[in-house]
Amino acid sequence: MSLFIGIDVGTSGTKAVLLNQQGQVVATGSGSHAPSAPRSGWSEQAPDDWWPSTIEAINQTCRTAGVAADTIEGVGLTGQMHGLVALDSSATPIRPAILWNDGRSAPQCQAVEARIGIERLVSLCGNRMLPGFTAPKLLWMREHEPEAYARITTVLLPKDWIRYRLSGELVMDVSDASGTAVFDCANRTWSDELLGELDLPRSWWPHAAEGPEIVASVHAAAAAETGLREGVPIVAGAGDQAASAIGTGLIKEGTVGSTLGTSGVVFAPTDQWRSLPDGRLHAFCHAVPGRWHLMGVMLSGAGSLDWFRSAMVPDIDEAAGSEAFPRIEAMAEEVPAGADGVIFLPYLSGERTPYSDVNARGTFIGLDQRHDRRHLARAVFEGVTHGLAQCLDLVRAAGVEPETVRLSGGGAKSPLWRQTCADLFGVPTTTTTTTEGTACGAAILAAVGAGAFPSIEDACQATVSEVDQTDAGPNAAVLAARHSIYERLYPALKPLFPAIADDA
């Protein structure tokens, strides 16, 4: 039976999934690596650290499955988006990769948006210039590390560095390239006009292929280190969000997904190019050829509950492990929907969607003497969901009407959170049978590229099923009324956030 591996190069480790030709997940594995924070607001990683964690993920997956790595028939890659891997003429990293969650390039983004204008930026690449993206990191290097900048000959994204280590080929894919801020997403190619505006050489940017396209093969040196067979095809792959969407079956317009992970994401596939003139939603190429997606990203999703646990309920410590989250959920369920008037703004790390504001700060509002930590717990669940509902409203404003919303991420295990989403989204929510969506999406692309399935649609039909549908309940009207108040809070507080942030 043919086997295909999907490799996901994440921020805190590498995961791998082994998929068979029937679309069944055979085994999973992982390897670890860690980011560093040399200064406040910075986030970096040595690209060479990703290679041993990738080898470990491959080996662990094969050990679990009881198969040899040289039986694998195709490799798919995915990983953290936006990270800058700057290479010199010998294809050696010049400095540690600057990651997606690094905020140092905010001044460069502000300067570009002031000079070019947001609407023109959106017309050229579909998106605003945000600190998480790749291109502004290069502008920061040019200003602060000119000697290192002068040595650049190639720019890669994290998963593409692993492809280079596996094959010696310098290639990207269209979905990951969309997050560089210099890719013409509407036409699925590099924006020569925008690269010229920013004075970034076109020669630095490799060919960006479609997700299931075979673009490389495992070379002899990598085969010796990983156990993979020399010559095994490697497909272009996808950025992590597009890969996760494939792994959860989000490939057609009308089926929208929401990730309740550390960050909160709303992902909406589109059958034609769409964007918002103000760039409040990301507009990227999907890893499905001929399709795109809109995406809203909240920087604190389930991460808000992690903060709540450590700050507000120290008696539920990390030793509780998997029991911590259900215990907080049980606290929240002791108070009614609406948290007796308490509202939480989940801007613990600033915000990206629906408001791009590094100065935004988390807030509880509406407190009085009746309230205790149970009300705060309920407000955190609801506050994050209010923010996701705002992202979904922007998707509707772009012309995409969701039929259902598929929930994924750790938070989707919570019945309370699933119900709150259904109540606020206005459409049924479901979960899927896929538990490792991102790496599974990469494996699906590998299987399609190798010919095991005629299309991504056929592969997803074999792999992904919806389960646990949740419809709006009796609390929907209460939460809708609270949502109208929630929407007015950020505009009211926005003028105060810069001063609050400066005092921090």
- In the chain, count of helices (H) and strands (E)? 18, 23
Secondary structure, 3-state, 433-495: CCCCHHHHHHHHHHHHHCCCCCCHHHHHHHHCCEEEEECCCCCHHHHHHHHHHHHHHHHHHHH
Cβ-proximal residues to 123 (8 Å cutoff; 6+ apart), any chain: none
Using CA atoms in the order 185, 187, 193, 198, what is the torsion angle rounded to 10 degrees? 20
**H/E element, 344:** strand 343-345
Residue 481's CB is within 10 A of a number of other CB atoms, namely 11
Quote the tokens at residue 1.
């039976």
Cβ-proximal residues to 156 (8 Å cutoff; 6+ apart), any chain: 85, 87, 164, 170, 172, 206
Residue 165's CB is within 10 A of a number of other CB atoms, namely 20
Phi, psi for 344 (deg, rounded to 5): -115, 130
The DSSP code sequence of 181-200 is S-EETTTTEE-HHHHHHHT-
Quote the tokens at residue 8.
């996901």
Phi, psi for 155 (deg, rounded to 5): -115, 130
Residues of 247-280 as b/e, b for ≥16 C-beta within 10 angstroms? Answer: bbbbbebebbbbbbbbbbbbbbbbeeebbbeebb
Query: Catalytic amino acids?
Result: 240
Give the full edge-to-edge strand order of the sheet including 282-285.
282-285, 292-298, 264-270, 255-260, 404-408, 429-432, 466-470
Burial (CB < 10 A; 0-12, 13-18, 19+), residue 499, is exposed
CB-facing half-sphere around the CA of 290: CA atoms within 13 A: 5
